[in-house]
Amino acid sequence: VLDNLREGVSVSDESGVIVYTNAAEDRLFGYAAGELVGQHVTVQNAYSREENDQIVRDVIDQLQNRGVWEGEWQNIRKDRTRFSSYARITTFATDGRKYWVCVQEDISESKRSNERKEFLDGVAAVLQGSFAEEPTLANFARYCLPFLGDYCSVDLLTENGEVRRVETAHRDPLKEPLVRNLWTRYPYDAADPVGAPKALYTGEPQFHPQILEGAIEALARDAEHLKLLRDMNPCSYICVPLTARGHIFGALSLVMSDSGRTYTEDDLATAVELARRAAVTVDNVRLYAAEHEARQAADQARQRAEEANRMKSQFVATMSHELRTPLNAIAGHVQLLDMQLYGPLTEAQREALARVARAQHYLLGLINDVLNFARLEAGKVEYDLHPVLLQEVVGDIVPMVEPQFGAKKLDLAVVLPAASPASNEGMAGAVFAWADSEKLRQILLNVLSNAAKFTPAGGRVTLRLSADAEAAIVAITDTGVGVPGDKLDAIFEPFVQLNATYSRRAEGTGLGLAISRDLARGMGGELTCSSTEREGSTFTLTLRRATG
């Protein structure tokens, strides 16, 4: 009957000598039928003499108090492999003699499965919060021991294809220098049949459950190398690649030695999964480091650009002020000459003075544009926002641009909103906007001047005022050369003039529209452009509507 049981059963006398084993017990320990009978029970357990004596005392104590002992038992088979069992020990007496009965079953697989799960779950805590690659790998290597090996190493594949050791660990701190010395004296060779290079270059795990003396001798390069290898006593080996996003960047090598354990297929699967989790973490660390480095580089570039921009603005402002002084002096002397304070002038002399005055005025305008743009870039422009009557501003600027329009025989039309009886703004049809009067005049002058420059002689420019519930709108439409659709944003960039033909005739810095848009935005509005090539453009200034 006992031979039909799944559990192993053994009976021993008071001296510990085995007197009976069933078939399951023999199979469990790897012995032939009846081979254990007559041997002492210590041949079955994996404890030292001191540990065994203590366990026997505990068992006797439990039997006396409870009549039974139950617990986990560490065993050793005939082939010296170890396993865990769950045992239940009781006693019985017959013919005046006392016997111990042990019923046990192998729990190695379930125990190892639970241990593997706990081990893999625990690696997350080791890798969590890692922000540096090599410390992460060092912690990872040490975490592997002793559960998954007696010693191990982690290697990385460099950009030029070389193998670089980043961490070596041994469960016995006294033997760790031996492992390091082995690597220092005999680093990997790409031709080695065993080792990290093979896993790194092929991407396939290496699994050697048993390393025989012949394999060690074949791996040794000389007598000293053979001695070091024997000192390390490798008996089982696994090497798995570290792979992330299809890229192999490292390898984890695991070795069993003094513990006498050998790797199984389950151990290989555990190592592969462990390497996968570690690789994901290291890849994230690398991505974080790259992102952090990119952010730092971007910040440094931004700081350099801001400093360069500040210095440029300071230089432009200084030079503009320096240039305005002699230009103002030129204007003053031209006026004195024109007033004939130094004597009468001929008609030719008056024409020459007029050309000087126009050139001075033009150059001063360019300098003012550059100075205004520098102030805008530096954020030094202040705005005095208040309700501004657009009709009044338009009435001020139209006379200022009439000479420019008249010189090219351009027609300038102003279209005002019709009077509305429902208007409650104090004046029928009046349109008020939140604006700085001077900044608004500058915008309209820039846009009208730009329209005059790029509209052929005899063309037409229309300035139209309108409003809705929230916005006051000024639209300036010309019949000029137009702007390509893909360049509608570029014309608002500084120093941009798109049409080469007209740019040669329409002189300027290319800052007018850039300044105008920045001023519009500074007042809470916007300046935009719509255009059809060779038909004309419409520049629309939108401001917040105000009540007069």
pLDDT at 422: 42
Q: Would you say residue 425 has pLDDT above 50?
A: no
Q: What is the mean pLDDT of the chain?
A: 88
Decide: helix, strand or coil at residue 89.
Answer: strand
Domains of the chain: 2-106 (3.30.450.20), 112-291 (3.30.450.40), 305-376 (1.10.287), 381-546 (3.30.565.10)
**Distance, CA of 352 to CA of 291 (rounded, Å):** 64
Q: Would you say residue 326 has pLDDT above 90?
A: no
In the structure, what pLDDT confidence band is assigned to residue 427 with cuts at 50, 70 and 90?
Answer: low
Q: Would you say residue 136 has pLDDT above 60?
A: yes
With a pLDDT cut of 90, the percent of the chain lying above it is 54
pLDDT at 498: 57
Tell me which H or E stretch contains 406: helix 390-407
| Phi and psi angles of residue 50, each rounded to the nearest 5 degrees, phi first | -65, -45
How many helices and strands (H and E) does the chain possess?
14, 17
**Sequence-separated (6 or more) residues with CB below 8 Å from residue 288:** 131
Q: Would you say residue 504 has pLDDT above 70?
A: no
In the structure, what pLDDT confidence band is assigned to residue 421 with cuts at 50, 70 and 90?
Answer: very low
Give the bridge partners for 72, in sequence order.
Answer: 86
Where is pLDDT greater, at 309 or 419?
309
Most confident of 189-193, 235-239, 286-290, 422-426: 235-239
pLDDT at 376: 75
pLDDT at 457: 93
Q: Would you say residue 471 has pLDDT above 50?
A: yes
Q: Would you say residue 180 has pLDDT above 70?
A: yes
For 403, other C-beta atoms within 10 Å of its C-beta total 9
Are 287 and 310 a contacting pair, CB within 8 Å?
Answer: no
Are 280 and 249 a contacting pair, CB within 8 Å?
Answer: no
Half-sphere exposure of 530 (CA within 13 A, CB side): 6
Q: Would you say residue 506 has pLDDT above 70?
A: no
Lowest mean pLDDT among 82-86, 321-325, 396-400, 447-451: 321-325
Lowest mean pLDDT among 176-190, 224-238, 531-545: 176-190
Where is pLDDT greater, at 447 or 188?
447
What number is the average pLDDT over the span 167-182? 93
**Distance, CA of 360 to CA of 339 (rounded, Å):** 17
Q: Would you say residue 138 has pLDDT above 80?
A: yes
Q: How far is CA 348 from CA 131, 345, 353, in A?
A: 80, 8, 9
**Distance, CA of 518 to CA of 15 (rounded, Å):** 101
| Phi and psi angles of residue 439, each rounded to the nearest 5 degrees, phi first | -65, -40
What is the distance, to the nearest Å, from the Cα of residue 229 to the centroid of all Cα atoms in its chain?
43
In the structure, what pLDDT confidence band is assigned to residue 381 with cuts at 50, 70 and 90?
Answer: confident
Lowest mean pLDDT among 118-127, 204-213, 453-462: 118-127
In the structure, what pLDDT confidence band is assigned to residue 394 with cuts at 50, 70 and 90?
Answer: very high
**Distance, CA of 206 to CA of 225 (rounded, Å):** 22
Q: Would you say residue 56 has pLDDT above 60?
A: yes
Are 260 and 254 a contacting pair, CB within 8 Å?
Answer: no
β-pairing, 411-415 vs 460-467, is parallel
Cis peptide before 146 (omega within 30 of 0): yes
In the structure, what pLDDT confidence band is assigned to residue 364 with cuts at 50, 70 and 90?
Answer: confident
pLDDT at 426: 46
Eight-state DSSP code of residue 188 = -
**Distance, CA of 31 to CA of 79 (rounded, Å):** 9
Residue 261: closest CA among 146, 174, 114: 146
Lowest mean pLDDT among 198-202, 327-331, 495-499: 495-499
pLDDT at 1: 61
User: Long-range contacts: 171-178, Cβ < 8 Å, 24+?
Assistant: 171/145, 171/146, 171/259, 172/258, 175/151, 175/232, 176/151, 178/228, 178/231, 178/232
pLDDT in tens, 82-119: 899 999 999 999 988 999 999 999 998 888 888 888 88
Decide: helix, strand or coil at residue 529.
Answer: strand
- Per this entry, what is the length of the chain? 548
Phi-psi region of 413 (alpha: psi -120 to 50; beta: other; left: phi over 0): beta
Residue 86: closest CA among 114, 116, 65, 64: 114
Residue 378: closest CA among 298, 307, 445, 441: 307
Lowest mean pLDDT among 283-287, 459-463, 534-538: 283-287
Give burial (CB, 10 Å; 0-12/13-18/19+) of 322. Answer: exposed
Structure tokens at 376: 């805008």
Half-sphere exposure of 415 (CA within 13 A, CB side): 12
